[in-house]
Amino acid sequence: MRELGSSQPTAVELEILRILWELGSSPVREIHARLAEAKGTNYSTTVKMLSVMLTKGLVKRNEDATPHIYRAAMTRERAAKKFLTELIEKVYDGSAMSLVLQALASGKASKLEIDEARKLLDEMEGKS
């Protein structure tokens, strides 16, 4: 269950962030066109979601432009780091290794991904 006041985006909010990361700063109509294509949402829902995201600090709005232009409040990389850090703290008691082991044990990692993880570990140990 999501905490009240959580800065974590919902699934739809994350979809909007992905759209903004791909398009860059955009008016509601462009965001809505992409969101409607992916999720079938109506225009008023898109406007409401952007309003909620603005309140949560997930997006920023240029009110000097007409129509208003929205942009993601942080880069994809910064958001990923923030949300991953929160996940590690809340679910894995601060242990990044527990997260990594869980991810690899899920059986969904390809051989290439496992090889990349092994290479990264070797580099971290100074064995490269």
Ordered domains of the chain (ranges, CATH): 11-72 (1.10.10.10), 76-124 (no CATH)
Helix (H) or strand (E) holding 29: helix 28-39
Would you give per-residue pLDDT tens digits along the chain (128 residues)? Answer: 444 456 678 889 999 999 999 999 999 999 999 999 988 899 999 999 999 999 999 999 998 988 999 999 999 999 999 889 989 999 999 998 888 888 888 878 888 988 998 898 888 888 65
- The pTM score is 0.74
What residues have CB less than 8 Å from 88, skipping those under 6 apart? 94, 95, 96, 98, 99
Strand locations in 28-96 (E): 59-62, 69-72
Answer yes or no: are the C-beta atoms of 73 and 59 closer than 8 Å. Answer: yes
Measured between its terminal Cα atoms, the distance across the chain in Å is: 43
3-state helix/strand/coil string of 107-126: CCCCHHHHHHHHHHHHHHCC
pLDDT recorded at residue 1? 41
